[in-house]
Amino acid sequence: MILFLKQLCEKRILIISEIILFLFLNLHAAEAKLNNQDSLIDNKSISKTIIEDLINAGEDYLQILNYSITSTYKHIAYPLATIDIALIASGLDENIRVCQCKKQDIWLLKQMGEVKTAIALPSGIYLSGLIFKDEELRTTGRLLFESLLLSSTVNTGLKYILGRSRPFMEMGNYNFQFFEFSDNYQSFPSGHTCAAFTIATLLAGRIDNNWVDAGLYLLATGTGFHRILADKHWFSDVIIGGAIGIFSSNLVLSAFEDNEKEKLRNKDKEQNKYTWSIQPQLGFYGSRILFTLKW
């Protein structure tokens, strides 16, 4: 009975939290709607906008692929540094596990890394921007989708390939069963921490508010701490999961910014493709009009 009441309470808290989050994200859009009753877009505009966003998402991933091909220093240095940090962190795994207080889930800290949050949050942001014609909000939702897809692909791939045993298996922090699909051998890296830092980094990059940034990263750090406390992950799992999330979001933001700059350059070139001018001139033999065409 107590367990049932606890689950019921948690579900109510989750529903209330989602309602508050939805209202918060729609505050700006709702205000725009009040100022302009015709702000809702029709079905034709919705379908056209979605197709454009899918094309833009494809362009972002092509830019990321271009980064991997060109292999610029800034895109290589971060993964190499992450590997070094993981090796150092792995030496602290056993000690940090011993220092934990108790092995249990903390519901509030767990939610940011949950799959349902990773789906509901970008969906809510994107749909809000789509319905209320808020391009910034819509773009943020799209970029969050892109970041979570990228980070989860890398994170899940490493889980299945390396097959690291979870702490509660009591097999040590250097036990790897390669290509093992059992959940008990999917400790490295931490998926919850990866998702939490993906969300925090992307939203921090788009919102650009120091207080909001601090809150997002504090919540993401709490998610990583929770995974260690629950004895589901080693310290190094959390460190690498967070690093993958941060790197993925920064990569998506970089690709988006580069594509936007390229579009502006192409637009300027198109506008300046043909120019003409008429200039009257006076000379020794009389006057004339000079016509100039450039392309």
3-state secondary structure the chain: CHHHHHHHHHHHHHHHHHHHHHHHHCHHHHHHHHHCCCCCCCHHHHHHHHHHHHHHHHHHHHHHHHHHHHCCHHHHHHHHHHHHHHHHHHCCHHHHHHCCCCCCCCHHHHHHHCHHHHHHHHHHHHHHHHHCCCHHHHHHHHHHHHHHHHHHHHHHHHHHHHCECCHHHCCCCCCECCCCCCHHHCCCCCHHHHHHHHHHHHHHHHHCCHHHHHHHHHHHHHHHHHHHHCCCCCHHHHHHHHHHHHHHHHHHHHHHHHHHHHHHHHHHHHHCCCEEEEEEEEECCEEEEEEEEEC
Token pair of 167, please? 């702490």
User: For residue 104, how far is the Cα from the chain centroid?
Assistant: 28
193-207: per-residue pLDDT in tens? 999 999 999 999 998
β-strand partners of 164? 176
- Lowest average pLDDT, out of 90-104, 140-154, 268-282, goes to 268-282
Is the predicted pLDDT of residue 39 greater than 50, yes or no?
A: no
Handedness of CA 41, 42, 44, 46 (dihedral sign): positive
- Note the Cα 121 to chain centre separation in Å: 11
Strand partners, 176: 164
Lowest mean pLDDT, pick from 27-36, 99-108, 127-136, 156-165:
27-36
The string of pLDDT tens digits covering residues 17-26 is 454 454 445 5
How large is the average pLDDT for residues 27-55?
Answer: 62
Lowest mean pLDDT among 23-27, 115-119, 281-285: 23-27
**What local confidence, expressed as pLDDT, does residue 92 receive?**
77
- What mean pLDDT do residues 250-279 have? 76
Q: Identify the top-confidence range among 7-16, 88-97, 278-287.
A: 88-97
